[in-house]
Amino acid sequence: MPSRLRPQIEGWLLLLPAAVLLALFTHYPTVATAIDSLFSTPRGARGAVYVGLDNYAEMAGDPVFWQALGNNLVFALGTVPAAIALALLMALLVDRKLAGRDFVRLAYFTPTVLPMIAVANIWLFFYTPGYGLVDQLLHLLGAPSHNWLGSRGTVLPCLMVMTVWKEAGFFMIFYLAALQQIPPSLGEAAALEGASRWTIFRRVTFPLLMPTTLFVLVNALINSFRLVDQIIVMTEGGPDNASMLLLYYVFEVGFKYWDTAYAAALTVLLLALLAALALTQFLYFDRRVHYR
């Protein structure tokens, strides 16, 4: 075998199995989704017909879609900063010597390991009006019971609280890793110059954590569009779509209404959103690679 050809063959052969699966289940469906979104949904004897941008026009006029999009933005803006702030706080708290540090770390991290589906079932019980944990605790403070998941105003915040609880520990890990890579001498030097701890955090630690924060931020944002298990268990998007998120809407349109063409159009929009987020991540990865 000519030596020029050999790496070509070896390279592609090694890549082949993964490439086939990626093409079949990532690249092809992405393209096919975009194409399907331009056709009507086939039903019974009627086949799919090319309808141009009709599905997108339907989307623009669909109040549920706009509600889902709005909810998802609220959900992202509500959960991501809170989860990140808590994660950072947790990391700072357990980075130092601390009585029972292992237990504390464990407590923070455990929710991350559990399936969202099981967690959601448990939290569903907490939010039960009257005798759920939340209402029982509020009773001790003399507050009346509240229909947490059954009211438009509280359903999304309730889901957000649970999501923050579940995710903060996960992001804490990344901060812990980053903190361990900061040489202690930096802080010590600043302390010698009489800087307060808050100043050290603000001027030294936090800037050094910036890449981690960016990484966590992008991942948290992607998660807020990708994870809807809790909606299926707790609210099914209700009441009156007050907790409808985009991916759950795709699921409902695609697998309850069996309107696959409209679901494809919704998926395209969701993919565009995720792509925009991920491009940010790419740029960030690029920078890290250059730094090395």
Partner 1 sequence: MRSALETAAAWLLALIWILPLAYAGWTAFHPAAYATAFRFDAPLTLANFAAAWQAAPFARYFLNTFLLVTMILAAQLVLCTLAAFAFARIEFRGRAVAFLLVLVQLMVMPDVLIVENYRTMARLGILDSLGAIGLPYMASGFGIFLLRQTFKSVPRELDEAARIEGAGLLQLLWRVYVPLARPVYLAYGLVSVSYHWNNFLWPLIVTNSVETRPLTVGLQIFASTDQGIDWSIITAASLMTTAPLLVAFLLFQRQFVQSFLRAGIR
Partner 2 sequence: MKRLTRRAVLGGAAAMGVALGARRATAAPVRLNFYFPVAVGGPITKIIDGMVADFEKEHADVTVNAIYSGSYQDTTAKALTAVKSGEPPHLAVALSTDMFTFIDEDAILPFDEIAGSGGKTWLDGFFPAFMANSRAEGRVWGVPFQRSTIVLYWNKTAFRAAGLDPDKAPATWDEMRGFAGKLTRRSGADVAQWGVEIPSSGFPYWLFQGLTTENGAILMNEAGNEVYFDKPEVVEALQYMVDLGRKWQVMPQGIIEWGTTPQDFFERKTAMMWTTTGNLTNVRANAPFPFGVAMLPAQKRRGSPTGGGNFYLFKKTSPAERQAALAFVQWMTTPERAAEWGIKTGYVAVRPDAWTTPAMKRYVANFPAAAVARDQLEFAVAEFSTHDNQRVTKILNDGLQAALTGEKHPAQALADAQSEADRVLRPYRRS
Query: Does 257 contact partner 2 by CB under 8 A?
Result: yes
What's the rounded Cα separation, in Å, for the pair 68 and 248? 9
Binds 206, which of partner 1, partner 2, none (CB < 5 to 8 A, cut-off by type)? none
From the list 78-86, 98-106, 149-157, 276-284, the region that binds partner 2 by CB under 8 A is 149-157
Q: Do residues 101 and 94 touch, judged by C-beta distance below 8 A?
A: yes
What mask of x and - would describe binding to partner 1 in positions 94 to 113, judged by CB under 8 A? x-x-xxx-xxxxxxxxxx-x
Q: Which residue, 23, 25, 50, is CA-closest to 39?
A: 50
Site residues for partner 2, 223-252, by CB under 8 A, read 235-236, 238-242, 252
Binds 149, which of partner 1, partner 2, none (CB < 5 to 8 A, cut-off by type)? partner 2
Residues 6 or more apart whose CB falls under 8 angstroms from that of 252 comprise: 237
From the list 51-59, 143-151, 184-192, 258-266, the region that binds partner 1 by CB under 8 A is 258-266
How many beta carbons lie within 10 A of that of residue 67, not counting itself? Answer: 18
Site residues for partner 2, 42-81, by CB under 8 A, read 43-45, 64
Query: Does 139 contact partner 2 by CB under 8 A?
Result: yes
Which position among 275, 283, 286, 287 is part of the footprint of partner 1 (CB under 8 A)? 275
Residues 199, 204, 206, 212, Cα dihedral to 10°:
-170
Residues 6 or more apart whose CB falls under 8 angstroms from that of 48 comprise: 36, 39, 40, 41, 42, 261
